[in-house]
Structure 1
Amino acid sequence: MQSVCAFVGLDVHKETISVAVADVGRAGEVRHVGTIKNDPTAIGKLARSLARRHGVVEFVYEAGSCGYNVQRQLSTMGMICRVCAPSLTPRKPGERIKNDRRDAIILARLHRAGELTYVWVPDALHEALRDLVRARHAAGQDVRRDRIRIQAFMLRCDLRFEGKAWSRRHRMWLCNRTFAHPAQQIAFQTYLNALEHDEARKAGVEEQIRELLASSPWAKQMQALQALKGVGPIVAATILAEVGDFSRFAHPRQLVAYFGLAPGEHSSGGTVRPRGITKAGSSIARAVLCEAAWSYRTTPKVGQWMKERCPPVSQDIAALAWKAQLRLHKTYRKLTARGKRSVVATAAVARELLGFIWSIGQRVPLGA
């Protein structure tokens, strides 16, 4: 494999890309070579020109709203292109000047020094699954907002329901409410219509997720993950959408850190200050993991719901899932008995649950 002769920093925007080049070694200054249009023709022309001038070049740009199209185009051309995490890019404290030219130069310099943290670039199918999972999360947020609006409206009108909220009986009670002024009735009905629309949208996206995963390389892994208590199709799909391939993580601690469930620390000298979880990575995946971990507060058992809903799995996966129930329930009880808050105990259980998820991902490889 040929050695890299130059490092190219790209500051990618919707319409333009600012380009800077750093030669190998520390002697040469980083040069800003200009700004090009953000379209495949201009990018291809730039890549071929830099390859003729410098030889082997390596590109880098920050992950953002423009996605991975630039990386995929350069990789198709045989070029090396990396995508770095913008939140982990080193910044000088007190720096008050920021523009596209400086950003491209900083990227090229840090890329040459090896100071950037690179993200894993998903393929097209994995990115489609990730977009679908995030669309479901957005629909769920809309449903929650619709319910809050309805509850606030009923409270302003001093109408209270005695019973379980959002049950069938509660919904029938809502539909039968009448108001003194026609304008209030219309406003209330629009809230109900919006809730029904968003619930139907959420259910439709969930059905599309199941259909996509059933014919995808993650089908076996999704079935195996559902053997764990609290892990249903949507939780499994969200984890798979964020992880992609479990073989990327050599140890479960790496997966825990990837999801931001590792404990933080801020120590200096002889003073040790532990902190809460780091909350790095996807907040959506972390939320569904904590929801799954909440189910381990109850007594371990394989009830009727799990027997009827969970797909068939091998004996070793079933044994691992039962071991997870015993261990995680014990962890939750032990932490709450020590006076820990339920949210803290749930986060600790979610961290251990990720270890069992990693183990299943190693036993059921991608595409098996």
Structure 2
Amino acid sequence: MRRVIGMDIHRTFAEVVVWEDGRLRHHGRVDMTRSGLEGFGRSLRRTDEIVVEATGNAMAVVRVLSPYVDRVIVANPMQVKAIAHARIKTDKIDAGVLAQLHASGFLPEVWIPDERTERLRRLVARRNQVVRHRTRVKNEVHGILQAHLVPKCPHADLF
């Protein structure tokens, strides 16, 4: 018997809806802590599939819940929004939509990188942040010097 679990994840909690035998059943809320997610994971079946939308903490949820289920799927939130128009939006409805879209084969999935690729992505993103910050600081120093009529550095690079 196939079960698809939709999770509408937030910073402190996740709303959970289970799709089984063509029916949706509200499961409740899960704390968005490692222990809360692990406890939830232990209550699942090995054959279950979990669906979450791509958010800031989605990859952490994938890492924690993957050992407990067959698969954790990350959905593209922009495409889900385009497919599923709901007049009433609640966390339960959003979780149910995710489960139903996956169960019916219409869920727009996001590729999930392996650990090495994810680590490299984080490293590159952090380097970009540091380089942008360095550029801002250099521009501030140049602006301060210019505002105080300090002549241009005779060397090629002030820094």
When normalised by structure 2's length, the TM-score is 0.79
Q: Is the 8 A contact 2:17 2:95 kept in 1?
A: yes
The residue that corresponds to 2:7 in the other structure is 10
Residue of structure 1 equivalent to 2:55 = 64
**Counterpart of 1:330?**
none
Instruction: Give the aligned partner of residue 33 of structure 2.
Output: 39
Deviations 1:201-250 (A, max 9, x none): xxxxxxxxxxxxxxxxxxxxxxxxxxxxxxxxxxxxxxxxxxxxxxxxxx
Give the aligned partner of residue 118 of structure 2: 127
Match of 1:257 in 2: none
Higher helix proportion, which one?
1
Q: Is 2:108 the counterpart of 1:117?
A: yes
Higher strand share: 2
Structure 1 contact 18–35 (Cα < 8 Å) conserved: yes
Check 1:149–1:15 CA distance in 2 against 1; reply closer, same or farther (3 A cut). Answer: same
Secondary structure of the structure 1 residue equivalent to 2:18: strand
Inter-partner Cα distance in structure 2 for 1:59 and 1:94: 21
C-alpha distance in 2 between matches for 1:104 and 1:34: 11
Q: How many aligned positions are there?
A: 158
- The sequence identity of aligned pairs, in percent, is 28
Superposed CA deviations along residues 298-318 of structure 1, whole A, max 9, x for unmatched, are: xxxxxxxxxxxxxxxxxxxxx
Q: Decide which structure has the larger Cα Rg and report it.
A: 1
Contact 2:75–2:107 (CA under 8 A) maintained in structure 1: yes
* In 2: Cα distance, 1:75 partner to 1:45 partner: 13
* Partner Cα distance (2:69, 2:50) in 1: 12
Unaligned runs of 5+ in 1: 172-195, 197-368
Aligned residue for 1:20?
Answer: 17
Return closer, same or farther for 1:79/1:154 CA change in 2, 3 Å cut-off.
same
Q: Compared with structure 1, are the counterparts of its residues 50 and 129 closer, same or farther at alpha carbon in structure 2 (3 Å cutoff)?
A: closer
1:1-368 equivalences in 2 (<5 Å): 5-25=2-22, 28=23, 30-51=24-45, 56-91=47-82, 95=87, 97-159=88-150, 161=152, 168-171=155-158
Give the AA of the match of 1:82. I
What secondary structure is seen at the aligned counterpart in 2 of 1:108? Answer: helix
| 1:146 shift after superposition | 1.4
Shift of 1:9: 0.4
Q: Report the alpha carbon displacement of residue 78 of structure 1 after superposing the two structures with TM.
A: 4.4
Which structure has more RCO (C-alpha within 8 Å, separation ≥ 6)?
2
Provide TM-score, normalisation by structure 1: 0.38
Report what 1:245 is aligned to: none
- CA 110–170 in structure 1, closer or farther in 2 if over 3 Å, else same: same
Tell me how far 1:158 sits from its aligned partner.
4.1
Residue type of the alignment partner of 1:14: R
Structure 2's unaligned 5+ residue stretches are: none
Counterpart Cα distance in 2 of 1:12 and 1:127: 20
**Residues 11 and 17 of structure 1 are in contact (CA less than 8 Å); yes or no, is this contact kept in structure 2?**
yes
